[in-house]
Amino acid sequence: MVEHIHHLKTGRLLSACFTLTSVAIEQDERTLKTFSQIGHHFGLLFQIIDDILDFTQNETELGKPSMADVKEGTITLPLLIALEKLEKSDPEVCTHTRSLIKSDITQEELQEIKKTLEETNAIQEAFNYSNKFINDAKESLEAFSNTEIKNCLLELLEYSLVRKF
């Protein structure tokens, strides 16, 4: 479900940006398709890392309020992973955690959600999942012959994994 949302959100946006770049530099149809695929994978990767940073960075580092998605009642991948684990291991705690996701959430409740994410290893699992999109993007890049552009895109993908904002 989250992958579908990310596909519609950042995946589609960055796919369009990469495709338009290919059109602007007058590339052939094959390159256009490759750019679109890379943009899609990059968009999914970018969104997952953004979801992780929302829980792991503070407002100063992010340049925006941290945990903003939870405060808006949005369940992102790290929280979804935690909830799925809790549903299997402790449904009562899962129900309680779901009840915390609301617009009037307190600082104490935010800290409780952070603790739940740590206890379920959800942040690490979300990060591991993001590697799928790095690998998918790299696979798409294999069809790309221009090594200068290819290397630039590889650097961009790698940077996405280590960015802090």
The DSSP letter of residue 81 is H
- Domains in the chain, number: 1
Give me the domain span that covers residue 22.
2-162
| Residue 125: HSE in the Cβ half-sphere, 13 Å Cα cutoff | 16
Tell which phi-psi region holds residue 25, choosing left (phi > 0), alpha (psi between -120 and 50) or beta.
Answer: alpha
Q: How far is CA 63 from CA 73, 84, 124, in A?
A: 20, 30, 23
d(CA 55, CA 37): 28
State the Cα angle at 82 between 119 and 64, rounded to 5°: 90
| Distance of alpha carbon 147 from the chain centroid | 27
**Percentages (nearest 5) of helix, strand, coil residues in the chain:** 80, 0, 20
| Residue 66: HSE in the Cβ half-sphere, 13 Å Cα cutoff | 18
pLDDT reported for residue 97: 96
pLDDT reported for residue 4: 44
pLDDT reported for residue 143: 78
Count other C-beta atoms under 10 Å from residue 110's C-beta. 16
* pLDDT digits (tens), the chain, 165 positions: 555 454 456 777 777 777 777 666 667 888 788 878 888 888 889 889 999 999 999 999 999 899 999 999 989 999 999 999 999 999 999 999 999 998 899 999 999 999 999 999 999 999 999 999 899 999 988 877 777 888 888 998 889 888 887
Kindly give the interhelix angle for 147-162 and 29-56, rounded to the nearest 10 degrees. 20
Residue 52, domain CATH: 1.10.600.10
